[in-house]
Amino acid sequence: MVELNFSHGDEVRFRLAKEELDAVVLESSEKDIVLVKLSSGYNIGIPKENILFARKIPRKRIVEEKKEFALPKKEGLGSIGIIATGGTIASRLDYKTGGVKPLSSIEDFAKNYPEIFEIANVKKIEIPFLVLSESMSYEHWIKIAEKVKEMLDDNDIKGVIVTHGTDTLHYTAAALSFFLRNLGKPVVLTYSQRSIDRASSDAHLNLLSAVKMALSDCAEVMIVGHANSSDDYCYALRGTKAKKMHSSRRDAFKSINAEPIAKISENVEFISSYNKRDNSKRAELDTNFTDKVALIKYYPGQNPEVLDYYALKYKGIVVEATGLGHVAASDSLYNNWIPVLKKHIRNGFVVCMTSQTIYGRVDPFVYSNGRDLQEAGVIFLEDMLSETALVKLGWVLGHYGWKKNVKEKMLENFAGEISERLVLG
């Protein structure tokens, strides 16, 4: 039996054989049962022996909202909602320490971006948490998706903006692309690489462009940010086709294996096809997700015994393989991956291939190595980005009903994550 290290009043995540649940622990005199209150309000008892794992969920930082502050409002402007989640775009230099510190209130956030109120009414700003994006995980993605869905359901709101740190923004964008089904309005993620109090800040242009995109007729999950290193205009990139490609430049995000959706300067100019706005559509939230998925990057000489570790701990992996989707095969000295992959796949482990070349498409049909991998049951993910593929794999494997169709679902184009071969070769 695992050691249980919490006390009453704590919010705890419990992993049981078939499910996970978050609940607040209640006082109880029972020795072998933990009494908890679920978010639904129900109290239940969990036999301690059924608990595989339990961990305390740190309390969310409470963001104090000054009640007297009212968001500016102008007649005749479209309404949007904003969800701020931390990162440089919601930070300011701390002149005492030289570091950056987060904007701590909605008033603070609004007052730093007065220009957006000239073109839109911001009906709501919410700050569900303030976390740097490198520290985010799928639970944050789910929380953001829930908040976005709430705002999309508001008939006044034409589109939703999510501000976010840059480091893992593209993973979150991919998650929202899968979690929000039947989208009828724009969902726009934006960021900055330099904080707002720096002369070179990209925050203002990015947020302003995000607002324009949120009011546009494009019902997609997108990343909006600088198109180049001058302060001219932004691109809107498809949420499943973007990657942070520079550690510090303002045009950090690039569209990979796809054209940007739109160029945003004074107005929005569309570059490629997109789903049109339909305000009557009701977005559906599908946050079924398992975190029992991993991403590994192949390198020459890599010992395939690493697969034994992952097959033990995870339900599936994405291998960022070389070139067209290759790993060491039978012409290697001793580290042939194919028999090891075959063994684990036979036992139900899911293995997907993407390419560490970033650009281009995996293809199992050019070399015999690829054909052998395909025969072993490896799923070749076309031109899907590794990051998108990881998120998608967690989402597909999070759906019990899709258990028998994992390959089919991984290759179904849910959110533009696969580009047509004819268009992009």
Which 168-207 residues touch its own copies, going by CB under 8 A?
168, 171-172
Which entry of 124, 143, 241, 244 is annotated as an active-site residue?
Answer: 244
Specify the pairing of strand 379-380 against strand 350-355: parallel
> Minimum distance from CB of 60 to its own copies (Å)?
9
Which 19-48 residues touch its own copies, going by CB under 8 A?
none
Query: In this complex, which beta carbon is closest to its own copies, that of residue 167 or of residue 220?
Result: 167
Work out whether 326 is an interface residue with its own copies (CB under 8 A).
yes
Q: Who contacts 211 (Cβ-Cβ below 8 Å, separation ≥6)?
A: 80, 116, 119, 120, 161
Whose tokens are 């995980």? That residue is: 137
| DSSP-assigned beta bridge partners for residue 102 | 91
Which entry of 85, 147, 158, 167 is annotated as an active-site residue?
Answer: 167
Which 381-410 residues touch its own copies, going by CB under 8 A?
386-387, 390
Which 273-292 residues touch its own copies, going by CB under 8 A?
291
Q: Catalytic: 232? A: no
Work out whether 167 is an interface residue with its own copies (CB under 8 A).
yes
Tell me the torsion sign for CA atoms 206, 187, 357, 391: positive
Query: In this complex, which beta carbon is closest to its own copies, that of residue 285 or of residue 294?
Result: 294
Q: Catalytic: 343? A: no
Q: Catalytic: 241? A: no
- The 3-class SS string of 6-35 reads CCCCCEEEEECCCCEEEEEECCCCCCCEEE
> Minimum distance from CB of 140 to its own copies (Å)?
8
Inter-helix orientation angle 338-346/306-313, to 10°: 20
The whole-angstrom distance between residue 43's C-alpha and the CA centroid of its chain comes to 32
Which 231-250 residues touch its own copies, going by CB under 8 A?
244-249
Q: Catalytic: 88? A: yes
Binding mask 82-121 for its own copies (x = CB under 8 A): ----x------------xx---------------------
CA distances from 251 to 56, 199, 206 (A): 38, 16, 10
Alpha-carbon gap, residue 216 to 234, rounded angstroms: 14
Residues known to be catalytic: 88, 166-167, 244
